[in-house]
Amino acid sequence: MSAPGAAGHQTPLLGFLSAFGLGKVVAPAATGEPAAILAAFADSEMFRWLRRWAVLAVVAIVTPLTVLTAYADEMPQFHHTAVPLAIAVIVPAWVLELSGVRLPRLALIAATVLPNVWLTLIGHDNTNYLWLPLLVAWIGFSGTRAEGIAALASATAVICLDIALQSRVVWAFFFYWTVGFLFAWFMGLVLRRQVVLVTELGLARGETEQRARQVAVLEERQRLSRELHDSVTQSLYGVSLYAEAGSRALAEGDVEPVATNLRDIGETTQEALGEMRLLLFELRPPLLQEHGLAAALQSRLQAVEARSGLATEFVSEGEERLAPDTEQELYRIAQEALNNVLKHAHAAHVTLRLNAATNRVTLDMADDGLGFDPSVQSTGGMGLRGIRERVERLGGELRIESSPGSGTRVHVDVPR
């Protein structure tokens, strides 16, 4: 599985390998862990970080140390050839493993342990053993439990072979290396568990956010259903009553009430059309995600308020896009405020101003409608409670200025 975003963190070696298609990450195999966890595990920052440092340890530290010790004064001449030959087997196996080539990890264990067995048999037991704790730690982290045990047992077997070839048993040598192997294995397991837990937490958080979005969609549908029932359905029911009354009047030969009924039918129909237009705009995906808050607000004014007979004015300052959550909440705030204008204000003109040019975002809406007493509406009438809740979620401030007969001004100030 490819690791998105890892290219920017690659070492030069991995970048070189990627050019030949060897930079793909293979999800570490582990029994009992779901495929989603393994895939996210392989794409985790910790896994990429360890791969980078393992490459550095292999290429820049362990390989030079192993080769240089072969040329120490006390080393036999044939070690000058034997050690580079062993390294020529070990290093390519590690390069393939760390570059993500799909090979059995038992192959990495064999390619690391067998050259060390050969060097041990010819009497070379020096820094080449540094490959063994590195192997145990990496397999413990990235492999299965069985592979980790195999790596630990193989590394310990090399040390036991070294001790068996000595003239006397040096238990301290055995103790130091086996404790080092156990510690390396334990650290690999701990790191793996940590990454798996973080991965599971991230997946669980993603599922929680998805459920929250689903709940929000369900609540929005229920709200639209209530709006449809309370407005359009009631209007259509009123039209049917007016039509029935007119029909009865005509049947009785009384023509005078029919004109009044027709006029009421026309007015009620216009109200229903306005409500339907409003609901259809809410159902239709706005331009918010694609073109931003300013374009979405301008589209709303043109599609709803202007077609309802209101004179509209829109002023926007600042071209930079806001955070998606901020744009969404500000759009809903403006939408609720404009809905109040249509339903309650009986205004002739509405002005909407958006200023996103500074580190604060301000949204102003003013109308010349009937106005109201804000102290009376402080409990949340006319949708003001929802506006206040959205402003609080953004950590902003809400100011409402209105009085009977003087219109209404809604001012919202939130951080970017």
In a domain, 105, yes or no: yes
30 pLDDT higher than 70? no
Model confidence at 260, pLDDT cuts 50, 70, 90, reads confident
The answer to whether 226 touches 275, Cβ cutoff 8 Å, is no
When the pLDDT of each residue in the chain is averaged and rounded to a whole number, the result is 79
In a domain, 220, yes or no: no
Distance from C-alpha of 5 to C-alpha of 35, rounded to nearest angstrom? 20
Range 223-235 average pLDDT: 71
Q: How buried is 295 (Cβ within 10 angstroms: 0-12 exposed, 13-18 middle, 19+ buried)?
A: middle
The answer to whether 159 touches 178, Cβ cutoff 8 Å, is yes
Pair (311, 184) in one structural domain: no
Pair (413, 321) in one structural domain: yes
Angle at Cα 388 formed by Cα 386 and Cα 389, nearest 5°?
65
Tell me the residue length of the chain: 416
Other beta carbons less than 10 A from residue 335's beta carbon: 20
End-to-end CA distance of the chain: 37
Pair (61, 162) in one structural domain: yes
**What is the pLDDT, as a whole number, of residue 154?**
94
Pair (202, 323) in one structural domain: no
Q: What are phi and psi of 344, to 5 degrees?
A: -125, -30
Distance from C-alpha of 337 to C-alpha of 391, rounded to nearest angstrom? 13
In a domain, 177, yes or no: yes
Pair (197, 301) in one structural domain: no
5 pLDDT higher than 50? no
| Total domain count, the chain | 2
Residues 6+ apart with CB under 8 A from 277: 303, 304, 307, 308
The answer to whether 408 touches 372, Cβ cutoff 8 Å, is yes
Pair (294, 202) in one structural domain: no
Distance from C-alpha of 343 to C-alpha of 339, rounded to nearest angstrom? 6
Last residue of a domain, one of 178, 206, 234: 206
- Specify the higher pLDDT residue, 312 or 270: 312
Q: Is 352 helix (H, G, I), strand (E, B) or coil?
A: strand
In a domain, 119, yes or no: yes
Least confidently predicted of 53-57, 308-312, 328-332: 53-57
In a domain, 275, yes or no: no
User: How far does Cα 67 stand from its chain's mean position?
Assistant: 46
Q: Is 344 helix (H, G, I), strand (E, B) or coil?
A: helix
In a domain, 89, yes or no: yes
**Which CATH number does the domain housing residue 301 bear?**
3.30.565.10
Which residue range is the domain that position 96 belongs to? 7-206
Range 140-154 average pLDDT: 89
Distance from C-alpha of 333 to C-alpha of 410, rounded to nearest angstrom? 10
Least confidently predicted of 182-196, 276-290, 293-307, 399-413: 276-290
The answer to whether 50 touches 191, Cβ cutoff 8 Å, is yes
Q: Is 360 helix (H, G, I), strand (E, B) or coil?
A: strand
**What is the pLDDT, as a whole number, of residue 4?**
36
| Model pTM above 0.75 | no
In a domain, 198, yes or no: yes
Last residue of a domain, one of 191, 206, 221: 206
Closest to 264 measured CA to CA, from 297, 230, 231, 240:
240
Distance from C-alpha of 88 to C-alpha of 270, rounded to nearest angstrom? 85
Distance from C-alpha of 92 to C-alpha of 125, rounded to nearest angstrom? 21
73-to-66, 67, 116, 126 alpha-carbon distances in Å: 14, 13, 21, 13
Pair (183, 308) in one structural domain: no
Pair (168, 21) in one structural domain: yes
In a domain, 251, yes or no: no
Last residue of a domain, one of 173, 206, 239: 206
Model confidence at 409, pLDDT cuts 50, 70, 90, reads very high
pLDDT in tens, 371-395: 888 777 554 555 688 889 889 888 9
Other beta carbons less than 10 A from residue 408's beta carbon: 25
